[in-house]
Structure 1
């Protein structure tokens, strides 16, 4: 089962994504900020870090950079509602997928599936 670490500061969005991704068959651990995500990345295995970009204390881009250091096999996908931030994310974390809000849950699940289908194809 694919394990996802979700970092999202908006309570309603975090709850919705955690429940929806869980219902789609993923094992999800959800936190409300990047600094809360770091201990999980350092001590547990996650297949995917799904992070908002704009968060207090540590933004998603810095979190992704720290993830690359402590858990390099973990893939990264950003979710954001800010177009300018999308450009920054593409420049500073080029291997990360960026999904712009608003998005439909099905779109998110398809992107996660696609991310891991690509990984399976590459490892063959």
Structure 2
């Protein structure tokens, strides 16, 4: 089963995303900031880091850079509501997918499926 570490500081969005991804068959651990996510990246295996970019203490870009150091095989996908931040993410983490808010839950599930080369009807 694909494991996802979700870092999102907005509680409602975090709950919404975690539930949608779990309903799609993914194993999700959700945290509210990058500094909380980092210890998990160091001690557990995750297939995907799904992170908001703008968060307190450590933004998603710094988290992705630290992830690349401690868990280089973990894929990264950003979610953001800020276009300028999206451009920065593309420059500083060029291998990461950026999904701009607002998006529909099925969009994020489809992007995760694409990232792992899964078809819409694949069993996870």
Fold equivalence (TM over 0.5): yes
With the length of structure 2 as denominator, give the TM-score of the two structures.
Answer: 0.94
Q: Which has the higher helix share?
A: 1
Displacement, 1:51?
A: 0.0
Aligned partner of 1:96 in structure 2 is 96
User: Gapped runs of 5+ residues in structure 1?
Assistant: 119-124
What SS is found at the alignment partner of 1:62?
A: helix
Displacement, 1:55?
A: 0.1
Are residues 1:58 and 2:58 paired? yes
Farther-moved stretch of structure 1 (60-69 vs 109-118): 109-118
Match runs of 1:68-107 below 5 Å: 68-107=68-107
User: Gapped runs of 5+ residues in structure 2?
Assistant: 119-124
Mapped partners of 2:15, 2:36: distance in 1 = 16
Aligned length: 118
Aligned partner of 2:121 in structure 1 is none
Retained in 1: the 8 A contact 2:20–2:109? no
Mapped partners of 2:72, 2:100: distance in 1 = 24
Displacement, 1:20?
A: 1.1
Displacement, 1:109?
A: 0.6
